[in-house]
Amino acid sequence: MRPFDYIRPTDAADAAERISGAGVKAIAGGTNLLDLMKLQVETPKVLVDVGRLDMASIAEDGAGLRIGALVTNTNTANHARVRADYAVLARTILAGATQQLRNKATTGGNLCQRTRCTYFTNTDQPCNKRKPGSGCGAIGGVARLHAILGASDQCIATYPGDMAVAMAALDAKVHLTGGATGERTVPVRDFHNLPGQTPWQENVLETGEIITAVTLPPPVRARQIYRKVRERSSYAFALVSVAAIIAKEGGKIARADLAFGGLAHKPWHDPRLSELLVGETPSPALFEKVADTLLDSADARGGSDFKIPLARRTLIAVLTEATEDQL
**What is the domain-level CATH number for residue 238?**
3.30.390.50
CA atoms within 13 A on the CB side of 301: 24
| Domain count along the chain | 2
**What is the domain-level CATH number for residue 20?**
3.30.43.10
Q: Is residue 158 part of a domain?
A: no
Q: Is residue 67 part of a domain?
A: no
267 close to 261: Cβ distance less than 8 angstroms: yes
Q: What is the pLDDT of residue 327?
A: 39
Listed in sequence order, the residues at least 6 apart from 2 whose beta carbon sits closer than 8 Å to its beta carbon are: 37, 40, 43
pLDDT band at 60 (very low <50, low <70, confident <90, very high): very high
135-154 residue pLDDT tens = 999 999 999 999 999 999 99
38-48 residue pLDDT tens = 999 999 999 99
pTM: 0.96
Strand ranges for the chain from DSSP E: 5-7, 24-27, 46-49, 58-61, 64-68, 173-178, 182-187, 209-216, 223-229, 240-249, 252-261
Q: Is residue 318 part of a domain?
A: yes
CA 232 distance to own-chain centroid? 20
Q: Is residue 235 part of a domain?
A: yes
Q: Is residue 196 part of a domain?
A: no
Q: What angle do CA 225, 228, 233 make, to 5 degrees?
A: 130
CA dist., res. 229 & res. 235, Å (int): 11
Q: Which domain, by its residues, includes 252?
A: 223-322
Burial of 54 (0-12, 13-18, 19+ CB in 10 A): exposed
Q: Is residue 185 part of a domain?
A: no
Specify the pairing of strand 240-249 against strand 252-261.
antiparallel
Q: Is residue 147 part of a domain?
A: no
Q: What is the pLDDT of residue 270?
A: 98
CA dist., res. 148 & res. 161, Å (int): 16
Q: Work out the average pLDDT over 68-86.
A: 98
Q: Is residue 212 part of a domain?
A: no
